[in-house]
Chains A and B, each alone.
Chain A
Amino acid sequence: MQQFIKQLAQENDFQATRLLKILRGVQAQYLYIPKEAIEQLAELLNIPRTQIQNVVEFYSFFHLEPRGKYDILISSSITDLMVGQEELIAYFAEKLGVKIGEVRADGVVSLNNTSCTGMCDQSLAGLVNGYAITKLTKARIDEIVENVNKQLPLDQWARDLFDVQDNIIKPDLLLNQKPTQGEAINATFARGLTETLSEVERSGLRGRGGAGYTTAWKWKFCSEDEGICDVSVHQQKQRYIVCNADEGEPGTFKDRVLLNSYADSVFEGMTVAAAIVGATQGFIYLRGEYLHLYEKLEGILQARRNANLLGKNILQHGFDFDIEICLGAGAYICGEESALIESLEGKAGIPRNRPPYPVTSGYLGKPTSVNNVETFLAAANIAIHGGEWFANLGTAKSKGTKILSISGDCAKAGIYEYAFGTTIQTILNDCGASDVLGVQVGGPSGTFIANDEFERKIAFEDLATGGSFIVFNNSRNILDIVHNFSHFFAHESCGFCTPCRVGTSLLKKQVDKIVEGHGSAGDIVALEELCQIIKNYSHCGLGQTAANPVLTTLERYPELYQSMLKKISYEPGFDLDKSLETARRMAHRDDAHAHLAQVED
């Protein structure tokens, strides 16, 4: 083991910033992160062992205990539940002969749930040793079970198990563009860097991750001190461009498609941004769930280096830039830009205190611009076609188009591009949704809208979204949705601040209590009060939006929540009878007097 670890560390230049990459290697080799490996890496990377321990415990894809040789994770996003996830994972567990969450006795296979894997248009989805598997049915599960029991190497499994489709249903402004390599870079330098930044500003482009910060301003702030749009000054400055490809919001999968089929334009957008702000190094932070894209993207980056689109003196424009891919390891919070930067530095993804903002103090304390995949795609095309071309579409405050990931109860799940200002009804018509109960716009952290609000629009000033658009028909139960989302946030809270760490767990319990029918008169008030604390006092966007599933549905369907309550004034917050289980076992009693009713008759 010592030799393996040493070599792994050496391949990564003994850089602590590469800790996640190193640990991925260790996990793949040993199926867990052995204690000895932590000790050795602490020495080799010159960091405290507790930093490594924290990283291992923080990210869902690292383990302190061995997983199976085949580690199977099944997505438990709401869209997976809608295609029968619970039944199918139970079937999987039974066929494999392993309990959910555990490793089979022979060590060959382990099975567990995982947060949304970004395949909601081809549910039921999962991961085998990190690689995406899609459209799971009982037949496909049988096939996987057979492969596992035969211990067939992953590369000999039928390829169609790993088939990931783009499902681009409605392309518009951006998705119809197929610029040639280097077109955006050449256009940028032909027009001039300052002029191109003006075009980006004129386009009105705002961050596509959902928060909607004006892209041109971010780039300006990133190089505010000196040297913006001046390559001669750039080379001495250390600044970074980061592409946020950690799309973890359940129901979002557009970045997966953009990186599969538009990667060149995304990289070109990063290169244009680098030229403008003066960065020589870029990173693409790719969520661990998209491991299947890694090799392909590495190939594209290499081709771009070969074509002098990356590297030294790019296309003879006198500027250097390169891009490195960093894989995440299963943590939704790393989509938050400062948590993402922490993760890039080889640490647990805990959002930083702000100010300072990443544009002044980001990766390794240097100015860093973190932008969404779609933002870079748009920027590349704006660099070619100019700001007007983009700003012609959209609304006054939301220019251009938005790429949506549509899933749930509709005939055609997939990728749709719409000009901002498009109504929900139009979108529902296009994707073939009928008998609609409501739509979750923007994922669990967004808004649930009811079927009397379908004239509302996709726009920053109305319904802002990073792209998640989940349709629910009238056969669905809103409380099931809220239940799933509340568990998601409690699982993904980083735990840094009290309101989110404790609050999301309390919220999960409180929602469970009501959904399971143990709620009583005061419980809705308590629920709402808890939501307000989490929303108003949490450290970052995760906590500030974690109560949205409850708040947005409670506002629309108060009677639904009320109907779940028992008609008594007080109900214990825990199961009285279950709590007596230990006492009964110790007393060897199971008679009627050893049981308690939850509520006195």
Chain B
Amino acid sequence: MSKTIVIDGKVIPFEDGQTIIQAATAAGVYIPHLCHNPKFTPHGSCKLCTVKVNGRNCSACTFPAAKGQTITNITKELNDDREKITQMLFVEGNHFCPSCEKTGNCNLQAVAYHLGMTDNHFPHFFENREVDASHPDVMIDHNRCIFCTLCVRASQQEDGKNVFAISGRGIEKRLVVNSPSGLLKDSDLDVNDCAAHICPTGAILIKRTGYKVPIGQRIFDHAHIDTVALAAEGASHDE
């Protein structure tokens, strides 16, 4: 392997066309992230995967790996700032982990724990956001949406549909459904669609499955997100 980058002192091979996060994941190095999923086109919006490439901040999920890159990933500075960005996501929406069905299976919650987040730090927005429970099998709780666009991308790239989109500008941004009424029931979303299962938070949930897995037996009850993500996404990269 002739081409390498260096992340936190570790020499990591990469192939042309790989992003930094792809090379890192393949080498078993975890870079915190929320909007990235190796199955889909990178989006680069959550900014949690920001790393320093030769001293400059770059999103690891979109930035191509290239020879000569010396990258810092896990540093106090970066992780402190990642924590703040995560806190921003928490105060922007209405996230009440103890009463959320996704608790223990939630990437947002898990990454927050991983970064040592113990409070929300910033003042809450307390926006009124709606719940769309119109679909027979799937519901959207807009309070928990972090605009990662994973459902948007999954619907387009995996399901061959176009059920979801993000609309609006700035803090008014919101998840919208591609149906004449704007309601999920009038879209062509099927419960078996990848888009219905991809949400990293509890914004899109499958009905009648709540608490099937008891609290205490959930993914992040027993493993940290770095291990979980590397196992899942490392395998996916190998496909």
Interchain CB contact (< 8 A) of A353 among B59, B92, B173: B59
Give the shortest distance, in Å, between B161 (CB) and chain A (any CB).
10
Query: Are A50 and B178 CB-contacts (below 8 A) given A497-B45, A505-B125?
Result: yes
Chain A residues with CB under 8 A of B46: 497-498
A495 with B172: CB separation less than 8 A: yes
Q: Are A501 and B173 in contact, with the CB atoms below 8 A?
A: yes
Tell me if A215 is interfacial: C-beta within 8 Å of chain B.
no
Cβ of A273 under 8 Å from chain B = no
Residues of A within 8 A of B147 (CB): 495, 501
The answer to whether the Cβ of B81 comes within 8 Å of any Cβ in the partner chain is yes
List, in ascending order, chain A residues with CB within 8 A of B125's CB.
Answer: 505
Per the bound structure, the CA–CA distance linking A268 and B145 in Å amounts to 49
Complex Cα distance, B47 from A144, in Å, reads: 48
Tell me which of A370-378, A486-494, A591-599 binds B: A486-494
A493 to chain B: which residues have CB within 8 Å? 169-171
Contact segment of B4-12, B83-91, B198-206, B209-217: B83-91
CB distance from B151 to the nearest CB of A (A): 12
Contact-residue size bin, chain A (C-beta under 8 Å from the other chain): 35 or more
Residues of A within 8 A of B45 (CB): 496-498, 539
Residue of B nearest to A39 (CB): B180
> In chain A between 317 and 340, which residues have their CB closer than 8 angstroms to a CB of chain B?
331
CB-based contact A502/B168 at 8 Å: no
Residue in A57, A58, A490, A499 whose CB lies within 8 Å of B171: A490
Task: Find residues 19-43 in chain B having any chain A CB closer than 8 Å to their own CB.
Answer: 42
B234 at the interface (CB under 8 A from A): no
Q: Does A171 contact B (CB under 8 A)?
A: no
- List residues of chain A with CB within 8 A of the CB of B88: 498-499, 502-503, 506, 533
Contact-residue bracket for chain B: 35 or more
Which of the residues A54, A499, A506, A509 comes within 8 Å of B168, measured between beta carbons? Answer: A54
A48 at the interface (CB under 8 A from B): yes
Query: A39-B180, A498-B45, A537-B50 given as contacts; is B85 within 8 A of A58 (CB)?
Result: no
Tell me, yes or no, whether A122 is within 8 Å of chain B by CB: no
Q: Is A536 an interface residue (CB 8 A)?
A: yes
Asked if B98 lies at the interface with its beta carbon under 8 angstroms from chain A, I say no
Say yes or no: is B192 at the interface (Cβ < 8 Å to chain A). Answer: no
Considering only CB atoms, which chain B residue lies closest to A49 in the complex?
B178
Q: How far is the CB of B125 from chain A (nearest CB, A)?
A: 7
**Beta-carbon contact of B64 and A498 below 8 Å:** no
Q: Are A537 and B47 in contact (CB under 8 A)?
A: yes
A509 to B88, CA, bound (A): 13
Inter-subunit contact A498/B47 (CB<8 Å): yes
| B44→A492 contact, CB < 8 A | no
Give CA–CA (A58, B173) in the complex, Å: 9
The CA-CA distance from A57 to B165 in the complex, in Å, is 12
**Nearest-neighbor residue (CB-CB) of A510 within chain B:** B123
Give CA–CA (A530, B50) in the complex, Å.
Answer: 17
Q: How far is the CA of A499 from the CA of B62 in the complex (A)?
A: 17
CB contact list, A296-334 vs B, under 8 A: 331
Q: A353-B44, A533-B84 are in contact. Are A495 and B123 (CB under 8 A)?
A: no
In the complex, chain B residues whose CB is within 8 Å of the CB of A492: 170
Chain A residues positioned under 8 Å from B91 (CB to CB):
502, 506
Nearest CB in chain A: distance from B83 CB, A: 10
Given that A49-B178, A506-B88, A506-B123 are known contacts, is A495 also in contact with B171, CB under 8 Å in the complex?
A: yes
Q: Is the CB of B165 within 8 A of A499?
A: no
Contact flag A501-B171 (CB < 8 Å), given A54-B166, A533-B81 = yes
Give A535's nearest chain B residue, CB to CB. Answer: B57
Q: Is the CB of B81 within 8 A of A539?
A: no
Q: Across the interface, do B165 and A495 meet the contact criterion of CB distance under 8 Å?
A: no
List residues 462-520 of chain A with CB under 8 A from any CB of chain B.
Answer: 490-499, 501-506, 509
- Do A58 and B169 touch across chains, with their CB atoms under 8 A apart? yes
Q: Is the CB of A53 within 8 A of B176?
A: yes
A574 x B123 contact (CB < 8 A) = yes
> B162, A57: Cβ atoms under 8 Å?
no
Beta-carbon nearest neighbor of B171 in chain A? A505
Q: Which residue of A lies closest to B88 (CB)?
A: A502
In the complex, which residue of chain A has the Cβ closest to the Cβ of B173? Answer: A495
Q: How far apart sit A134 and B86, CA to CA, in the bound complex (Å)?
A: 45
Question: Is A263 in the interface zone, CB < 8 Å from B?
Answer: no
A327 to B169, alpha carbons, bound, how many Å? 19
Q: Is B75 an interface residue (CB 8 A)?
A: no
Instruction: Judge whether A355 is part of the interface by a CB distance below 8 angstroms.
Output: yes
- Contact partners of B62 in chain A: CB under 8 A: 353
Collect the chain A residues with CB atoms within 8 Å of residue B162's CB. Answer: 48, 50
Q: Which residues of A contact B57 (CB under 8 A)?
A: 536-537
User: Contact at B47–A497, with CB atoms within 8 Å?
Assistant: yes
Pair B170/A536 contact, Cβ less than 8 Å: no
Q: Is B96 an interface residue (CB 8 A)?
A: no
Among A51, A59, A509, the residue within 8 A (CB) of B123 is: A509
Known: A53-B176, A509-B123. A348 touches B169 (CB 8 A): yes
Cβ of B167 within 8 Å of any chain A Cβ, yes or no, is yes
Least CB distance from B41 to A in Å reads 10
* Those 9 A-B pairs whose CB atoms lie nearest each other, nearest first: A50-B165, A502-B88, A495-B173, A54-B167, A353-B62, A493-B170, A573-B123, A495-B170, A57-B168
Given A58-B167, A353-B44, 10 additional A-B pairs, CB 8 A: A57-B172, A58-B168, A59-B169, A491-B170, A494-B169, A495-B169, A495-B170, A501-B147, A501-B173, A574-B123
Sample 9 A-B pairs with CB under 8 A, ordered by A number: A50-B177, A353-B44, A491-B170, A492-B170, A498-B45, A506-B91, A536-B57, A537-B47, A539-B47
Measured CB to CB, the residues of A under 8 A from B are: 39, 48-51, 53-54, 57-59, 331, 348, 353, 355, 490-499, 501-506, 509, 529-530, 533, 536-539, 573-574
